[in-house]
Amino acid sequence: MSELFNKINSELTRAMKEKNELRLSVLRMIKSKVLYVNARGNLPEAEILKIVKKYNKDLLESVEEFKKLGKNDEVGQLEKEIAIVKEFLPPELSPEEIKKIVKETIAKTGAASIKEMGKVMKEISSSYPSIDGKIASQIVRESLQ
């Protein structure tokens, strides 16, 4: 089992002992999403990370929707959930760090035009699974024009 899945399980146990309902609920959701993909949780670290990132993204999208509807109570609740989910994600890279990675990857792949953006993005996402793809693709697009 992966280290991340073990961490999720141990935090789940701790949340039960502390009777922290919100944390328990969020951790159960993460675990269920992992177990949905593999019933035993035997997934590579990168795959579990991808699942947690997707859940985080879904929560962020829900926050935006609730903000548009003016439902501030739900927004506050979701932001607390996002804070818990982020504990299981690697630290986010700054735009400057992403620019440096993009520049290095473009040099490494030898990409010269926007037509080769896919090749650059594939290399970035495989080498840096924790990178924000949206920001990276924007920087790649700017760099290759």
Encode pLDDT of 71-127 as tens digits: 989 999 999 999 999 999 888 888 888 889 998 988 888 888 888 888 889 888 888
8, 33: one domain = yes
Q: In whole angstroms, what separates CA 127 from the centre of its chain?
A: 15
pLDDT of residue 111: 84
C-alpha to C-alpha distances, 28 to 25, 57, 103, 121, nearest whole angstrom: 5, 17, 39, 32
77, 119: one domain = no
33, 57: one domain = yes
80, 102: one domain = no
* Domain of 11, in residue numbers: 3-86
27, 71: one domain = yes
Mapped onto helix, strand or coil, the DSSP state of residue 86 is helix
Q: Looking at the predicted structure, is the pLDDT value of residue 68 above 80?
A: yes
Token pair in block for residue 35? 């177990």
Count how many residues are written for the chain.
145
Check if the beta carbon of residue 42 is closer than 8 Å to that of residue 78: no
Considering only CA atoms, which of 105, 87, 96 is closest in space to residue 49?
A: 87
